[in-house]
Structure 1
Protein backbone atom coordinates (compact mmCIF):
# COMPACT_ATOMS: atom_id res chain seq x y z
CA UNK A 1 0.00 0.00 0.00
CA UNK A 2 1.40 3.40 -0.99
CA UNK A 3 1.47 6.12 1.62
CA UNK A 4 0.09 9.46 0.55
CA UNK A 5 2.55 12.20 1.35
CA UNK A 6 1.05 15.61 2.09
CA UNK A 7 2.59 19.04 2.46
CA UNK A 8 1.28 22.14 4.20
CA UNK A 9 -0.32 24.61 1.81
CA UNK A 10 0.23 28.31 2.37
CA UNK A 11 -1.71 30.88 0.36
CA UNK A 12 1.14 33.37 0.80
CA UNK A 13 3.30 31.20 -1.46
CA UNK A 14 0.83 31.60 -4.34
CA UNK A 15 0.14 35.34 -4.33
CA UNK A 16 2.42 36.35 -7.15
CA UNK A 17 0.63 39.22 -8.91
CA UNK A 18 -1.45 42.23 -7.91
CA UNK A 19 -4.38 40.50 -9.57
CA UNK A 20 -3.87 37.41 -7.37
CA UNK A 21 -3.85 39.60 -4.27
CA UNK A 22 -6.91 41.59 -5.32
CA UNK A 23 -8.95 38.50 -6.19
CA UNK A 24 -8.02 36.78 -2.91
CA UNK A 25 -8.94 39.80 -0.79
CA UNK A 26 -12.12 40.45 -2.77
CA UNK A 27 -13.30 36.89 -2.19
CA UNK A 28 -12.71 37.28 1.55
CA UNK A 29 -14.57 40.59 1.64
CA UNK A 30 -17.50 39.05 -0.23
CA UNK A 31 -17.65 36.27 2.37
CA UNK A 32 -18.16 38.92 5.04
CA UNK A 33 -16.36 37.11 7.87
CA UNK A 34 -14.07 39.62 9.65
CA UNK A 35 -11.78 36.83 10.89
CA UNK A 36 -11.35 35.57 7.33
CA UNK A 37 -10.57 39.08 6.05
CA UNK A 38 -7.94 39.52 8.76
CA UNK A 39 -6.39 36.14 7.97
CA UNK A 40 -6.32 36.90 4.24
CA UNK A 41 -4.64 40.25 4.92
CA UNK A 42 -2.12 38.30 7.01
CA UNK A 43 -1.46 35.93 4.12
CA UNK A 44 -0.98 38.85 1.76
CA UNK A 45 1.30 40.66 4.21
CA UNK A 46 3.42 37.53 4.65
CA UNK A 47 3.68 37.18 0.87
CA UNK A 48 5.11 40.72 0.71
CA UNK A 49 7.27 40.38 3.81
CA UNK A 50 5.82 41.03 7.24
CA UNK A 51 8.93 42.97 8.31
CA UNK A 52 8.45 45.40 5.43
CA UNK A 53 4.75 45.81 6.20
CA UNK A 54 5.52 46.38 9.89
CA UNK A 55 8.02 49.07 8.98
CA UNK A 56 5.62 50.79 6.57
CA UNK A 57 2.71 50.74 9.03
CA UNK A 58 4.76 51.68 12.08
CA UNK A 59 3.39 48.62 13.88
CA UNK A 60 5.32 45.79 15.50
CA UNK A 61 5.86 42.66 13.42
CA UNK A 62 4.65 40.35 16.18
CA UNK A 63 1.54 42.43 16.81
CA UNK A 64 0.78 42.32 13.08
CA UNK A 65 1.10 38.53 13.03
CA UNK A 66 -1.36 38.37 15.93
CA UNK A 67 -3.80 40.96 14.57
CA UNK A 68 -3.78 39.48 11.07
CA UNK A 69 -4.71 35.96 12.05
CA UNK A 70 -8.09 34.29 12.14
CA UNK A 71 -7.90 34.41 15.96
CA UNK A 72 -6.82 38.06 16.04
CA UNK A 73 -9.08 41.00 16.61
CA UNK A 74 -7.46 43.75 14.58
CA UNK A 75 -8.74 47.26 14.85
CA UNK A 76 -9.97 48.88 11.67
CA UNK A 77 -7.14 51.40 11.77
CA UNK A 78 -4.70 48.47 11.62
CA UNK A 79 -6.55 47.04 8.63
CA UNK A 80 -6.41 50.39 6.84
CA UNK A 81 -2.68 50.79 7.53
CA UNK A 82 -1.95 47.29 6.23
CA UNK A 83 -4.10 47.78 3.12
CA UNK A 84 -2.23 51.01 2.36
CA UNK A 85 1.19 49.42 3.02
CA UNK A 86 0.29 46.60 0.62
CA UNK A 87 -0.38 49.16 -2.10
CA UNK A 88 -4.09 48.34 -2.12
CA UNK A 89 -7.15 50.46 -1.67
CA UNK A 90 -10.65 49.60 -0.58
CA UNK A 91 -13.44 50.58 -2.93
CA UNK A 92 -17.17 50.67 -2.35
CA UNK A 93 -19.44 49.58 -5.17
CA UNK A 94 -23.22 49.85 -4.98
CA UNK A 95 -24.74 46.38 -5.02
Structure 2
Protein backbone atom coordinates (compact mmCIF):
# COMPACT_ATOMS: atom_id res chain seq x y z
CA UNK A 1 0.00 0.00 0.00
CA UNK A 2 1.34 3.44 -0.94
CA UNK A 3 1.39 5.95 1.86
CA UNK A 4 0.80 9.59 1.03
CA UNK A 5 1.13 12.81 2.99
CA UNK A 6 -1.34 15.66 2.74
CA UNK A 7 -0.33 18.43 0.33
CA UNK A 8 0.36 21.75 2.04
CA UNK A 9 0.91 24.81 -0.16
CA UNK A 10 2.48 26.62 2.78
CA UNK A 11 5.59 24.46 2.47
CA UNK A 12 6.40 26.06 -0.90
CA UNK A 13 5.84 29.70 0.04
CA UNK A 14 9.40 30.46 1.02
CA UNK A 15 9.97 33.87 -0.58
CA UNK A 16 8.20 37.20 -1.00
CA UNK A 17 7.96 36.50 -4.74
CA UNK A 18 6.31 33.09 -4.23
CA UNK A 19 3.86 34.61 -1.75
CA UNK A 20 3.01 37.48 -4.10
CA UNK A 21 2.42 35.10 -7.02
CA UNK A 22 0.28 32.78 -4.89
CA UNK A 23 -1.92 35.64 -3.66
CA UNK A 24 -2.13 37.20 -7.14
CA UNK A 25 -3.37 33.89 -8.55
CA UNK A 26 -6.00 33.73 -5.83
CA UNK A 27 -7.15 37.30 -6.56
CA UNK A 28 -7.32 36.52 -10.31
CA UNK A 29 -9.92 33.82 -9.62
CA UNK A 30 -12.29 36.47 -8.29
CA UNK A 31 -13.49 34.30 -5.39
CA UNK A 32 -13.28 36.06 -2.00
CA UNK A 33 -13.32 32.73 -0.14
CA UNK A 34 -10.33 31.50 -2.17
CA UNK A 35 -8.43 34.72 -1.48
CA UNK A 36 -9.21 34.47 2.25
CA UNK A 37 -7.98 30.86 2.22
CA UNK A 38 -4.79 31.83 0.34
CA UNK A 39 -4.12 34.65 2.80
CA UNK A 40 -4.48 32.15 5.63
CA UNK A 41 -2.10 29.68 3.96
CA UNK A 42 0.50 32.41 3.51
CA UNK A 43 0.09 33.66 7.09
CA UNK A 44 0.54 30.10 8.32
CA UNK A 45 3.66 29.71 6.16
CA UNK A 46 5.19 32.80 7.75
CA UNK A 47 3.91 32.07 11.27
CA UNK A 48 0.48 33.13 12.47
CA UNK A 49 1.78 34.56 15.74
CA UNK A 50 4.37 36.73 14.00
CA UNK A 51 1.93 37.93 11.32
CA UNK A 52 -0.74 38.71 13.91
CA UNK A 53 1.78 40.74 15.94
CA UNK A 54 3.02 42.67 12.89
CA UNK A 55 -0.55 43.30 11.73
CA UNK A 56 -1.56 44.57 15.17
CA UNK A 57 -4.07 41.75 15.71
CA UNK A 58 -4.44 39.04 18.30
CA UNK A 59 -3.55 35.57 17.09
CA UNK A 60 -7.10 34.42 17.81
CA UNK A 61 -8.69 37.24 15.79
CA UNK A 62 -6.37 36.48 12.86
CA UNK A 63 -7.32 32.80 12.92
CA UNK A 64 -11.01 33.76 13.14
CA UNK A 65 -10.79 36.29 10.26
CA UNK A 66 -9.01 33.81 7.98
CA UNK A 67 -11.11 30.77 8.90
CA UNK A 68 -13.57 29.29 6.37
CA UNK A 69 -16.38 31.06 8.26
CA UNK A 70 -14.40 34.30 8.56
CA UNK A 71 -14.98 37.47 6.63
CA UNK A 72 -11.98 39.75 7.17
CA UNK A 73 -12.47 43.44 6.58
CA UNK A 74 -10.44 45.14 3.91
CA UNK A 75 -8.50 46.82 6.72
CA UNK A 76 -7.60 43.45 8.23
CA UNK A 77 -6.62 41.98 4.85
CA UNK A 78 -4.42 44.98 4.06
CA UNK A 79 -2.75 44.86 7.48
CA UNK A 80 -2.03 41.16 7.03
CA UNK A 81 -0.68 41.74 3.53
CA UNK A 82 1.60 44.51 4.80
CA UNK A 83 2.88 42.14 7.50
CA UNK A 84 3.53 39.62 4.71
CA UNK A 85 5.49 42.25 2.78
CA UNK A 86 3.10 42.28 -0.20
CA UNK A 87 0.51 44.76 -1.43
CA UNK A 88 -2.67 44.53 -3.42
CA UNK A 89 -2.71 46.49 -6.67
CA UNK A 90 -5.42 47.26 -9.19
CA UNK A 91 -4.99 46.95 -12.94
CA UNK A 92 -7.50 47.32 -15.76
CA UNK A 93 -9.23 44.15 -16.85
CA UNK A 94 -8.04 43.31 -20.31
CA UNK A 95 -10.84 42.87 -22.78
CA UNK A 96 -10.59 40.88 -25.94
CA UNK A 97 -11.24 42.81 -29.14
CA UNK A 98 -14.63 42.27 -30.70
CA UNK A 99 -14.69 39.99 -33.70
CA UNK A 100 -15.70 41.67 -36.95
CA UNK A 101 -18.96 40.76 -38.24
Shared fold, TM over 0.5: yes
Residue 45 (structure 2) aligns with: 47
- Structure 1 residue runs of 4+, over 3 Å off? none
Q: CA deviation at 1:71?
A: 2.7
- 1:36–1:70 Cα contact (<8 Å) kept: no
> Do structure 1's residue 36 and structure 2's residue 34 form an aligned pair?
yes
Residue 21 (structure 1) aligns with: 19
Structure 1: any 5+ residue segments left out of the alignment?
none
- 1:35–1:71 Cα contact (<8 Å) kept: no
Structure 2: any 5+ residue segments left out of the alignment?
94-101
- 1:57–1:85 Cα contact (<8 Å) kept: yes
Within-5 A mapping of 1:1-95? 3-95=1-93
Q: CA deviation at 1:64?
A: 0.8
TM-score by length of 2: 0.85
Cα deviation, 1:21-48, whole Å, max 9, x if unaligned, reads 1111011000011111011011111111
In the alignment of these two chains, the number of paired residues is: 93
Q: CA RMSD in A?
A: 1.1
- 1:29–1:37 Cα contact (<8 Å) kept: yes
Q: CA deviation at 1:4?
A: 2.2
